[in-house]
Structure 1
């Protein structure tokens, strides 16, 4: 509830980097990238007698309340409509949302136990808002919201903001370039207040403590990405990339613990520089920001990472709630490292890392912390002895019989896909789009996998002809040699899908 108690009004930003807005019809709510409009502002009303509940009243139009209804959004689907509604005495439960903290973000639970959910995908799902449960692992982030406090609402003066957020550093304020001050958003500055920090630590204590087990006894680690590549410090002593060679010294990262926090670490490369979440965009117009090796004169939050356990893997979160991300796809994305939030279901695993301890820190009353047992390989054929995550334990017998420097076998091909509009047009086709790794060979198998990835029924898998640029249904076998593929999904029910059927192409 500290998300809302510190603000008279807020903006809510979804995992798609879009804001919850009240539409002009004074009934609909949806998502929009425009966060500067009045439609994106919601006045916070605390619920008397319920310390963890709020009502959210639109700052636009007649000021309707964010309301969870029992009306289905689409017949046969699970999600129910969320609308703006006028206050009705005795029906308070419809307007109440239970705020549940999840790291630096919040989930809002409705009266029936469902969560405020920002939907992605094709129309009519795109930009819609429902209250529902995440039914697959790929939709877990759809119910997470970043909370930004609004400065320019009536009776909420600049003085009150400055007093409530007096612990925010000037450096962090400047970095926002005039955007609304974030209380606990994906861009929130480092919080130096003891109260705020203690809240962050206590709310994440169980999850963070288990994740810290990967690092607690480690003097040095290797981090392996979803693409079976290791995090490497480039020899220019600035860039950070991925590489399949895990035996190189540049894949070794020394672990430092931040004294004032029990769940924060720093990682130092073999060149003595820190893994740093910079504020520089990786590519203009894209969301990801560069991760570098730096040696700042003053150690700040940019070199601090919060490990969060995800099964047998770890996510490394910046103090701005973005994640260390290993990118795949075509150059310049291939082998690059950024910090970002997965915007699409296909990139959720790009922020997961396996931790391989290659040097143990001995914690003993008789041995100083600087002493350690170095398990650096003595010969090219001897892999480093390590304390492994669950995934490594299952593979230990295989790993001990191979050269560490040998690249692993291919895990299949990369599938790049876009979802076509009703008329067959593809939005942002020149951008990489969604991706996932596929090990099969048949079109039917790929179709099942895409249905799993997207949740869409009745899809036609199409490819664009290199001769005339037109879309044609994909048939028979996939290209040989595990070559990467670009696929476009067309819904059978769409105008373009029906045209393909009329032409006898299905």
Structure 2
């Protein structure tokens, strides 16, 4: 995997969109949504096809022999400092599975991110996936990061001296030399900073490929294509800067949808993945791009190490846009883009220049339709204070939507009301949308959403539409394979 050839440290993100973190008790390992924390960063050490992962506390990710729960198959994953660095409990074998990785222990078990109700929620164990519903629990997205401050580069280099080489498949054939690491900032940080300078004050941009065609949001409001019509409004992309990430941007089309690196293959059997316009319910790493300057052009890299690529050749490749890693010299330039700033963000003289996303009130302003790359449209200097950094996630509170309170029932449909309930806000009106959201919240699959009758206390599955937006709902989540679910099929039960 090309992604890991220069990686000195990584983060591991589970199927629940949570990161593997090393707790401050220097023993526990769990999942957390805070992927920016130093506790989510793991130094990589390797020998052959086996790697070790060291936490910010200087302890190793360890597949212990201690049962997580008595009578269950999963074993605890902890942080330890073994007396012998060749201890097989701290060795993990990365196995590629599509765009993701499995980490296998010497005993053949896999690092697993558990979902469901407590105590399973946010826990991490090593186990064999027992059913098809938990197959994805052993898959991890691996993202390269800078070396954590708690682990100086010198310490990292000294640790490399104990291991002759890093996995050829994942990390390249040779570790980086001390001179190259000392002379350069981690992961080309200076190139990232220079590239980000293009976007700091840019409100809208156009991206021009090496084919001299522009990145366009197609009128179907889903596809992304290349076209020579740079004066079209569909060639305009609004820039948003991401909170707590000084080298990441989002690009929003004229249809108010985000440039998205999807997991859908462009053509069956080919490596390129589709780039789309989407409006996700929650802004995630699929809509985040990292600009990297190369000469007078830039590359836009996804969090998974692929690059935005303008394809040439014969149809269906011609004018298509994918994200991929260029494997041939002839296609190296396909990931390079010229950035034309078509609208500048004007700040008041007293405003500070921190990275912030652009407000929705200004993002709808029309861009200059000039096709000249040097054309720039300026707006009034009475620019109001910028909104919060994530323009969708942190927009001003709205009252629309209903509050959903939920409990997860046991196999018989019983609920422990004393444990309190979890809640979230849902804007959609359908049971399908509610079911998908509850699967995300609970980490469960193949669920049935029920309500409890006020007359007899029995559970009834929800059908079709939900009550009006201003209604508060209390629902019960059960597994489709549970005894409670099977009772729905009995006569007399709707």
Per the normalisation by structure 1, the TM-score is 0.44
